[in-house]
Amino acid sequence: MDINCTEKELFYINKVGAAAAELGVETYLVGGFVRDKLLGRTTKDADFVCVGDGISLAHAVAARFKPSPQVDYFKNFGTAHIRVDREFDLEFVGARKESYQSESRKPAVEPGTIADDQDRRDFTINALAISLNPDNFGKLVDPFEGVKDLEEKIIRTPLEPAQTFSDDPLRMMRGIRFATQLGFRIEDKTWQGIIDNAHRIRIISQERITDELNKIILAPKPSIGFDLLYKSGLLQLIFSPMVELAGAEYKDGHGHKDNFYHTLQVLDNLSANTNDLWLRWAAILHDIAKPATKRFEEGHGWTFHGHEAVGGRMVPKIFSKLKLPQNEKMRLVKKLVELHLRPISLTKENITDSAIRRLLFDAGDDFDALMMLCEADITSKNKQKVKRFLENFQLVRQRCKEVEEKDHVRNWQPPITGELIMGTFGLSPSKPVGLIKDALKEAMLDGLIPNTYEAAYSFMLEKAAEMGLKPVK
């Protein structure tokens, strides 16, 4: 075997080889598995290409396990999948030629040889194959010098870039993704091919684009990918609001920072401390409304007043357009964007417990995530300034801890419910009930009453009396 595999992987590979030999089907281990083994990276799945029926091969492989695992297959695409254990999957497909028509999202597919299959691969490093055939079992097939490109850390297309990217324009984003994940350089001719064909990305479904974008965001240093997307012209086509952040404007001797590259630094800062995709999205979107709120004030300079609130309102629309989830994930990002300036204001002297309580109340369980975003938002090159900001945020954390221990504000549930208010005063669901509940919340947050049932009940009676309401019992 020309690649190093674990005993478990070899066990699975030998099963496939034996089934292929029995069927008399020419079969190869291909793509990412081979690439990652040569790079010394961990693998969670293996792809197999056969010159024939991939679904039939998958069933023959499954039959060699006791008990036989389920074979999931897609007849229209000629692909099959087997989960052989909780941590490893086998994928099967027949060798094929495929191409996209100029305005189509679906490829035209026809059977082919292993050479055809390698020709249609996106990059040389993914066109590597290991033969599972009896006459040369374990031999590496490398028609495009993919091993050399791995050694030299280069992303390069097997065929002319224009053809490769025209066949499937998503490959442009995949190239940038691999460059980001692996720390590779995109070869000059391939890079020019991305620039020349960027407009073709429009025929790809939003779901596929967003899937690649998320993989870039989850890379160790996602700024690499976003910089490449921006310079290639792809970012303008797939996520234009982010492009609008780029550039610094000067007027009357006043300038502002380039908010695009600031955002990338914040993203990298945050990514050093968390792999959470949605916290990373919060970093991407925290200043997204700065272009919309940019104003020049005489004698003061550039301002972005209210960009956190406007940005919060933009989040659902951006998520919807990018086909990102419209659930609690979106709401988390929206909350963090809206709140990302609040902790900074609490670093000033003489901050009241009331302000602390309100932040804790609004942030809830996401307080730590918010503080992580705020700390990532410090991008000054002045080390002393960074040190001072971080120390201030540590003080905020301490103040919040003290107030929370005393008042239990995070995920606060009112000791007095709407049902109790209605029962006490003989009310149906109505405006007075809401007014009393809001008054209770504000009184507690302002520190006028402690967070206890007794204090809240007494306050309820007082507030109701002011409104002309009397208990019915």
The predicted structure's pLDDT at residue 195: 97
* Least confident piece of the model among 102-111, 123-132, 175-184: 102-111
The predicted structure's pLDDT at residue 252: 58
The mean pLDDT of 94-98, rounded to a whole number, is 81
- Look up the pTM and report it: 0.86
Q: How many domains would you assign to the chain?
A: 4
In a domain, 246, yes or no: no
Same domain, 165 and 189: yes
- Specify the amino acid at residue 366: D
Domain of 81 in residue numbering reads as 1-149
In a domain, 259, yes or no: no
Q: In which band, very low, low, confident or very high, does the pLDDT at 45 lie, cut at 50, 70 and 90?
A: very high
Query: Bridge-partner residues for 110, per DSSP?
Result: 97
Strands (E), 112-237: 129-131, 140-141, 154-155, 185-186
> Rounded CA gap, 380 and 372, in Å?
16
Same domain, 167 and 211: yes
Same domain, 426 and 391: no
> Rounded CA gap, 140 and 131, in Å?
7
Q: Is the pLDDT of residue 101 over 90?
A: no
Q: Is the pLDDT of residue 215 over 60?
A: yes
Check if the beta carbon of residue 292 is closer than 8 Å to that of residue 310: yes
The predicted structure's pLDDT at residue 313: 97
In a domain, 109, yes or no: yes
What CATH number is attached to the domain comprising 62? 3.30.460.10
Neighbours of 418 (CB within 10 A): 14
Same domain, 275 and 402: yes
Same domain, 223 and 203: yes
- Specify the amino acid at residue 321: K
In a domain, 32, yes or no: yes
Q: How far is CA 285 from the centre of its chain?
A: 12
What CATH number is attached to the domain comprising 229? 1.10.110.30
* Least confident piece of the model among 85-89, 192-196, 215-219: 85-89
Same domain, 340 and 422: no
Q: Token pair of 300, please?
A: 């003061």
Check if the beta carbon of residue 254 is closer than 8 Å to that of residue 303: no
**pLDDT tens column, 308-329:** 999 999 999 999 999 999 999 9
Q: Classify strands 129-131 and 254-255 as parallel, antiparallel or unpaired.
A: unpaired
Domain limit, last residue, from 221, 238, 255: 238
The mean pLDDT of 281-292, rounded to a whole number, is 96
**What are the CA-CA distances from residue 290 to residues 14, 254, 304 (Å)?**
57, 16, 6
> Rounded CA gap, 441 and 447, in Å?
10
Same domain, 227 and 111: no
